[in-house]
Amino acid sequence: MTSARNHGAGDAGEIRSEGGFSPRIAAFLCKWCSYTGADLAGTSRLQYPVSIIPIQVMCSSRVDPVFLIQAFLSGADGVLVGGCHPGDCHYETGNYHARRRFAIVREVFDSMGLESARLRLSWISASEGPKFAQVAAEYTSRIREAGPNPTRRSLFL
């Protein structure tokens, strides 16, 4: 299987900043809370890292675990799911289901020796622009410490 593990050429996808490695984080944000929170961070002119790649979903429970795995295997250095705080879901209970699914995908990662620290779920409400910026900064810094996702260059995947 050694040949399958050969890394491909080039590092076209890697975004470099003055500090070296700049992570790419796929962020699945629910339309009603977290995406609006991200918007608020922007309109409030809060600074947060460029690493976050927002993807709007109608609800955090729309995020099938396969989305997270797909993002991870495609080379995302981190994968973030953002939803409404428990009790505040626009669809009443979607985020509770999202939490269970997240627990399952995290356990699958742990059971197979994959880095579950590259997955994160955060509750960010529409009024929490500062929290969004804070989560983005914290998570980016943690992922930067973890380094680039090795899946990014693995030819096999």
Partner 1 sequence: MNSIVSRLDASAAVRELLGWLLGEGRTDAVLTPRRLPEDGSCDLALLTAPEGLDRAEPLLPVMTTNAGQALSHLSLSGRRLTAVLKPCELRAFTERVKREQGSFERLLTVSFVCGGVFPLGRVLSDGPDTLAAAALEAARRGETPAGVRETCAACEHFVPTNADVLVSSGEDGCRIHLCTPRAEEALEGFGGERVDTAPDPAGIERVLAARSAARAELYRALPVEGGLDGLIDLFGRCVGCHGCSRVCPICYCLLCDFESAGLEGDLPRFRAALDERGGLRLPSGTILFHLGRMTHMSFSCVGCGMCSDACPAGIPVAAVFGRTGGRTAALFDYVPGRDAEEPVPVTVFREEELDDIG
| End-to-end CA separation in angstroms for the chain | 13
Closer CB to partner 1, 21 or 96, in the complex = 96
Among 39, 53, 88, 115, interactor with partner 1 by CB under 8 A: 115
Interface residue with partner 1 among 46, 108, 117, 146 (CB under 8 A) is: 108
Residue 135: phi and psi, rounded to 5, are: -60, -45
The first and second tokens of residue 86, run together, are 């428990």
CA distance 152 to 136: 21
Binding mask 62-101 for partner 1 (x = CB under 8 A): --xxx--xx--xxx-------x--xx-----x--xx-xxx
Name the residue among 107, 122, 96, 151 with its Cα closest to residue 38. 122
Q: Restricting to residues 132-151, name those near partner 1 by CB under 8 A.
A: 150-151
Show Cβ contacts of residue 136 under 8 Å, excluding neighbours closer than 6 positions. 25, 41, 48, 49, 51, 52
* Least Å from the CB of residue 103 to partner 1: 5
State the binding string over 28-57 for partner 1 (x if CB under 8 A, else -): ------------------------------
Among residues 87 and 141, whose Cβ is nearest to partner 1?
A: 87
Minimum CB separation of residue 123 from partner 1 in Å reads 5
Please provide residue 33's backbone torsions phi and psi, each rounded to the nearest 5 degrees: -115, -70
CB 23 within 8 A of CB 143: yes
Interacting residues with partner 1 (CB under 8 A):
1, 4-5, 7-13, 64-66, 69-70, 73-75, 83, 86-87, 93, 96-97, 99-108, 110-115, 121-123, 150-157
